[in-house]
Amino acid sequence: MRVNSVFISGFLLASVALAGRPRSLRLNLVERSANDSSDGIEYGNWAGAVLHQANGTFKAVTGTVTVPDVWGPTNSSATVAVGIDGDTCPNFAMVQVGVTATVTTNGTNYQAWYRWNPTDWVFVDIPICARNVITLTLGIFDATSGFAIIENASTGQSVKEQVQAGSSGYPLCQQNAEWLLEDIFLNNTQVPLSNFSMVTFTDAKAFGKDGKIYTPQGAIIDDVEQDGQVLTSVSVNGSSVSINHV
Nearest Cα to Cα of residue 223 among 236, 232, 210, 215 = 232
Show which residues are catalytic: 182
Which SS3 state, helix, strand or coil, does residue 9 take? helix
Domains of the chain by start residue, with CATH: 5-245 (2.60.120.700)
What's the CA gap between 191 and 11, in Å, rounded? 37
Q: How many CB atoms lie within 10 A of CB 226?
A: 14
Q: What is the pLDDT of residues 197-241, one digit of tens each?
A: 999 999 999 999 888 999 999 999 999 988 889 999 999 999 999
Tell me the pLDDT tens digit for each residue of 36-82. 444 467 778 999 999 999 999 999 999 999 999 999 999 999 999 99
Q: How far is CA 164 from the centre of its chain?
A: 17
Question: Cβ–Cβ contacts within 10 Å for residue 184, how many?
Answer: 18
Contact 49, 219 (CB under 8 A): yes
